[in-house]
């Protein structure tokens, strides 16, 4: 398995605080069968992306790990004006191993219309944009049609594996499982930050998907598609995403209201998203 979203580099953001934790996180991932970790420090207003520091610390971690697991550098790219301009001026700087796949994180407060054109400019600069954990973003959860439009324009989707089994609340769990069932997910990753509240447990997500959808789907989301991302190749053939080309609005089933940020949606009986992708 390959984890393409992992805050392994210590002391640069809200991920690993020190070298000891970084080594423990990487070894925990390796023990579960992860062969490659893409180190994704934030590139945001709160955590500026420091290329030389990231490379230096990643190489330090790699040297301590030896050949037990392989590390690559990318970032958790926040869509602010400074980042967008720098990414366009420095093609592929922020992408996974410089090969073109870019992990894009939206604000969970608002997504202005101008960001649609920003995604287009990033694609024109050579990036393949991967939308990170949309199931955890209340703005996206409330606006599936916009997410569908980004996907139709070429964006891919990465879901946090533990969202599928409830670690981030009922809304994220329900939303991510319906995306899974309708083939709207291209990558599963841990978005690991530590060993406790945000651990590097990709195996549990793999097993969950294998049990729900089969090993072919689990392999596609945890190994085959991530392999394309770290090598810069096109994704292998993908199953048709159900409902993506709907000509009408995409909306939730009657009576379902996504939880406000930080809150969980109470469990209900029946199909919460029965009309999630209705035409």
The CATH number that applies at residue 15 is 3.20.20.140
Residue 90 phi, psi (nearest 5): -125, 75
pTM (2 d.p.): 0.89
Q: Is residue 248 part of a domain?
A: no
Residue 35 in any domain: the answer is yes
Domain count, the chain: 1
In a domain, 140, yes or no: yes
Q: How far apart are the first and last CA of the chain?
A: 35
**241 located within any domain:** no
Domain assignment present for 213: yes
Bridge partners of 188, per DSSP, are: 159
CB contact set of 112 (below 8 Å; sequence gap of 6+):
none
DSSP letters along 218-237, please?
A: HHIIIIIHHHHHHHTPPPPP
Within-domain flag for 260? no
The residues near 32 (Cβ < 8 Å, ≥ 6 apart) are 1, 200, 201, 202, 203
2, 39 contact by CB (below 8 A): no
Per-residue pLDDT of the chain (279 residues), as tens digits, is 999 999 999 999 999 999 999 999 999 999 999 999 999 999 999 999 999 999 999 999 999 999 999 999 999 999 999 999 999 999 889 999 999 999 999 999 999 998 999 999 999 999 999 999 999 999 999 999 999 999 999 999 999 999 999 999 999 999 999 999 999 999 999 999 999 999 999 999 999 999 999 999 999 999 999 999 999 999 999 999 999 986 555 554 433 344 444 443 333 333 333 333 333
Judge whether 68 lies within some domain: yes
Write the DSSP string, 38-54: EE--EESSSS---HHHH
Residue 215's domain spans which residues? 2-231
């Amino acid at each position: 398995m390959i984890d393409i979203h992992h805050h392994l580099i210590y002391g640069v953001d809200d991920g690993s605080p020190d070298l000891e934790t970084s080594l423990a996180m990487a070894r925990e991932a390796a023990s579960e069968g992860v062969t490659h970790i893409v180190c994704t420090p934030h590139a945001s207003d709160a955590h500026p992306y420091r290329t030389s520091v990231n490379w230096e610390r990643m190489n330090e971690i790699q040297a301590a790990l030896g050949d037990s697991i392989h590390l690559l550098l990318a970032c958790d790219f926040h869509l602010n004006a400074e980042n967008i301009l720098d990414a366009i001026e420095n093609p592929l700087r922020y992408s996974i191993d410089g090969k073109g796949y870019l992990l894009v994180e939206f604000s969970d407060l608002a997504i202005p219309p101008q960001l649609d054109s920003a995604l287009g400019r990033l694609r024109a600069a050579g990036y393949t944009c991967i939308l990170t954990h949309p199931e955890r973003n209340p703005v996206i959860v409330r606006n599936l049609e916009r997410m569908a439009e980004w996907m139709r324009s070429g964006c891919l989707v990465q879901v946090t594996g533990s969202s599928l089994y409830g670690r981030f609340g009922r809304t994220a769990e329900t939303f991510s499982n319906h995306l899974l069932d309708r083939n709207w997910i291209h990558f599963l990753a841990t978005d690991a930050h530590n060993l406790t509240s945000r651990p590097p447990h990709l195996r549990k997500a793999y097993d969950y998907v294998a049990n729900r959808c089969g090993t072919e789907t689990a392999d596609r989301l945890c190994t085959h598609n991530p392999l394309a991302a770290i090598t810069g190749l096109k994704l292998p053939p993908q199953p048709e995403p159900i409902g993506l080309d709907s000509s009408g609005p995409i909306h939730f089933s009657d009576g379902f209201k996504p939880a406000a940020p930080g809150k969980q949606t109470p469990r209900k009986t029946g199909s919460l998203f029965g009309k999630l992708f209705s035409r």
